[in-house]
Amino acid sequence: MLTTIEQLEALYGEPGERALRKEIPYVNEDYRAFIEAAPFVVLATSGPEGLDCSPRGDVPGFVRCVDERTLALPDRPGNNRLDSLRNIIVDPRLALLFVVPGVGETLRVNGRGRISDEPALLDSFAVDGKLPRTVLLIDVDAVYFHCSKAIVRSKLWDPARQIERTQLPSTGEILRRIMAAGDGEEFDAAAYDRDLPARVRATLY
């Protein structure tokens, strides 16, 4: 069992020079291209209740590069748990992982978040007249690309590796079993699964 930083570094050795030099404290032209091409980003936060890692997705470019030190991420309708936003209120530190379909490299951003409900900012992110409830403004501390090894090993973009959704439990079945195991509440999984696609489409924005 490793219990010290010294043990860890002795086992792994020093990072390569390029692995360190690729990290910069601002969004340059190359890194901006990744952000503007990404339809998907994972948002990681930390707070009193623990850690949270939440997916965010929309059309490419939905995360706006306000300038080289600031990003803006609209908060679209979700489940109102607000795990990420609750964390940011008390601890602004956050991390982003941008993913571009078909591309091996990912882009990592570390920074600090501020939650805005300024009307003009919300309006600038409107889709079909529907505004986000808030916009997360991110003050950038570090940006760097992550090499493609994880994507290559996982074969994430290989169509032959995709599985049918029916090979996994449906969301309705997951909820039915959890509720039954908890307080024995009956839950209509079939109806939930049947209505889910329309419910998702109706609440995207």
Q: Would you state the torsion angle of the CA atoms of residues 141, 83, 124, 58, taken in this order, to the nearest 10 degrees?
A: 90
pLDDT of residue 129: 94
Please, are residues 79 and 175 in contact by the beta-carbon 8 Å criterion? no
pLDDT of residue 150: 97
Model confidence over 191-200: pLDDT tens digits?
A: 999 999 999 9
* Residue 129 falls in which region: left (phi positive, over 0), alpha (psi -120 to 50) or beta: left
Q: What are phi and psi of 102, to 5 degrees?
A: 85, -10
Long-range CB pairs of 196-203, under 8 A, 24+ apart, other chains included: 196/171, 196/172, 203/77
Task: Kindly list the domain boundaries of the chain, sorted by start residue.
Answer: 15-154, 163-202
**Per-residue tokens: 26:** 């601002």
pLDDT of residue 185: 82
Of residues 111 and 15, the one with the higher pLDDT is 111
Tell me whether strands 50-57 and 40-47 are parallel, antiparallel or unpaired.
Answer: antiparallel
Topology given in CATH for the domain delimited by 15-154: Pnp Oxidase; Chain A (2.30.110)
With 90 as the cut, is the pLDDT of residue 183 above it? no
With 90 as the cut, is the pLDDT of residue 114 above it? yes
Averaged pLDDT for residues 2-7: 96
Please, are residues 108 and 97 in contact by the beta-carbon 8 Å criterion? yes
pLDDT range class, residue 112, cuts 50, 70, 90: very high
Q: Average per-residue pLDDT in the chain?
A: 96
Averaged pLDDT for residues 168-194: 93
